[in-house]
Amino acid sequence: MKKSVLLILFAPLYVVTYSQDPGKNLKAENVIGIYSDIGICQPLGHNRHGGIVSSNGKEAFSLGLKYLKPISQKLKLETGICYSKHTIVNHLVLEPDLNDNLTESLRTISIPVLLKRYYPKNYFISLGTMIDFTLSRAGGWAITDPQSGLGLILGAWKEILIDKFSIDIEPNLAIHSLTPSHNLKNRQRLFFLGLNIGLDLKID
């Protein structure tokens, strides 16, 4: 299972390394942009903290910068950096005195590495990995497992072209910490489902 996950995660890097130069008919346009992700998150897996009977994700938000480079006539490589905040509500029961919901904010910095495969009329599918770093949670609840490690991102929809600008509209899903930086049994993974909206600028 772990070997299969690693194969999926590193496929974009393999393709980038061995891809040929863009074809003659492709105008090699490098692109920079900003984007935002809004959606919902959910911890998957067992919570090891005593007294926690359930963990339910709520809203999630991301803001990032990206860079895209053509690597063939139909493929682009996308990378960048992204800040994310995930809100999680943990139900704590310590009988007979305590029965409460604890709201937790889990923040990460991520570096995505994606391949975008384009189709007619600027539809695309994106697939890749992300390197996550969990930020310090000093001064608040720290119940959900840190999400530092490698994750998986999958998205698809359409790019709208407006002169040198383009707007990406992309429903997507992500699973954080598929291959965690720390080997913990029954580790929680954070699942995200949302909508990515980006504004891009062609720089050459």
pTM: 0.82
Across 40-49, 55-64, 110-119, least confident range: 40-49
Question: Does the pLDDT at position 182 exceed 80?
Answer: no
pLDDT in tens, 56-65: 999 999 999 9
- Number of continuous H segments (helices) and E segments (strands) in the chain: 1, 8
Q: Is residue 28 part of a domain?
A: no
How many domains does the chain contain in total? 1
The answer to the question of residue 40 being in a domain is: yes
Query: Which helix (H) or strand (E) is 15 found in, with range?
Result: helix 2-18
Question: For the domain that residue 179 is a member of, what is the CATH number?
Answer: 2.40.160.20
Rounded Cα–Cα distance for residues 80 and 98 (Å) = 44
Q: Does some domain include residue 23?
A: no
Is the pLDDT at 8 greater than 60? The verdict is no
**Residues 190, 57 contacting (CB under 8 angstroms):** yes
pLDDT of residue 156: 96
Q: Is residue 26 part of a domain?
A: no
